[in-house]
Amino acid sequence: MDSRWDGLRAEVRAALDDLVTSGREAGVQVAAYLDGAPIVEEQAGLADTATGRPMTADTPVHAVSTGKGLTATVVHVLAEQGRLDEDLPLARVWPEFARHGKDGITLRHVLTHTAGLPALPADVTPADFTDWSRMCDLLADATPLWAPGERLAYHAWTWGWLLGEVVRRVTGRPVSQVLAEEVAGPLGVTRELFLGVPDAELPRLARLEDAGLSALMTWAGAHLPHFDAVAPPAVRPDTTTGSDPDVLRADVPSVGTMSARAVARMYAALLGPVDGVRLISAERLRAVSAPAVRAQEWVFRQESTFGLGYAVDDDGSFGTAGSGGSLAFAYPELGLTVAAVRNRLGAGDGDPMERLRALVRDRVAETLSGAQTGP
């Protein structure tokens, strides 16, 4: 790796060591790419505290909604190939979906969480999640809560099947297979970037631990009026759901499993070439990373901004983050991508993964700025 970033790597390594030795974290990975090349790849701690198995750079970690970035990327890669279009009505390739006035819902509405279909039946279970046809039938028969584009509501679970079924109808392949063949394969990370996790890879996954996430989900169910509509009690995004081998094996494309270095590499290939692989054009990059909707969001009641499948932040980045503390973001203006994953899923802990993202972003911005203004 480029020696210019030795100091940054040492700073990240020290931060990770402190998190692990203090007992705040079990295992952590942080990775960053700049202009298509890795500049940070650090990890510390244990992938499994019960067995003492170490966290290595290639250990996959279930990273909850950070996986939405994988599914969004599949959609944009297919769009780049001319096989999909953001303004495609879902019912054009999925005729059953047109029921109950849903014929006007487009991929753009789904990508921006404005499709009006954030809710699931209250009695849905993890077993339902493992049945692709059942979940798609539920959504095909659902009645929208409002007209498409009318309101921003985080489609916590439904988002994945809505996009994934369109991908399946267009390609004839499950979305996890498309990810493997069109994204992970060309980038050389097929064993580190998953939607559905193959059986043979399950023993390699980090073992999740709860450090406050479950309590936060319980609080949200009690205090946010619409939370249980989008994440019913039996399928809240927590360590229980994220550790269920049947759910991990299944395609549940609102969540994903990954190493930090693999997802940082994927975002880097959205920005530009990585070892000769570029996933989308510069023109499409500008379109997918630009703010598409900004409004008060229905579930969490916070002002939120989304591009086409990714959150867009005020610092110029786009990407996704997951419950309990995982993230992957790209900074087009800097040519930078940053990812961080952890297996001790926390809440109310000061968000150490976000602090690590800010550390890498700020050091890179400072260095690049100094290089531009130097003699």
What are φ and ψ of residue 224, in 5° steps?
Answer: -105, 115
Q: With 90 as the cut, is the pLDDT of residue 170 above it?
A: yes
The confidence score (pLDDT) of residue 1 equals: 82
Q: Determine how β-strand 344-346 pairs with β-strand 209-211.
A: parallel
pLDDT in tens, 46-97: 999 999 999 999 999 999 999 999 999 999 999 999 999 999 999 999 999 9
Mean pLDDT of the chain: 96
d(C-alpha 55, C-alpha 344), whole Å: 12
b/e sequence 251-261, b meaning 16+ C-beta within 10 Å? bbbbbbbbbbb
Provide mean pLDDT across the span 184-195: 98
The confidence score (pLDDT) of residue 302 equals: 94
Active site residues: 65
Measured in residues, the chain has a length of 375
The confidence score (pLDDT) of residue 214 equals: 95
Provide mean pLDDT across the span 363-370: 92
Alpha helices (runs of H) in the chain, residue ranges in sequence order: 6-21, 68-80, 90-93, 107-111, 126-129, 132-140, 158-171, 175-178, 185-187, 213-223, 227-230, 239-243, 245-249, 260-271, 282-289, 352-373
> Are 52 and 254 within 8 A, CB to CB?
no
Cα–Cα distances in angstroms (integers) from residue 129 to residues 39, 157, 323, 359, in the given order: 38, 10, 18, 37
Q: With 80 as the cut, is the pLDDT of residue 288 above it?
A: yes
The confidence score (pLDDT) of residue 370 equals: 78
List, edge to edge, every strand of the sheet that includes 257-258: 61-62, 257-258, 193-194
Assign residue 101 a region (left: φ > 0; alpha: ψ between -120 and 50; beta: otherwise). Answer: left
d(C-alpha 137, C-alpha 185), whole Å: 31
d(C-alpha 189, C-alpha 131), whole Å: 27
Neighbours of 240 (CB within 10 A): 17
Provide mean pLDDT across the span 342-362: 94
The confidence score (pLDDT) of residue 373 equals: 56
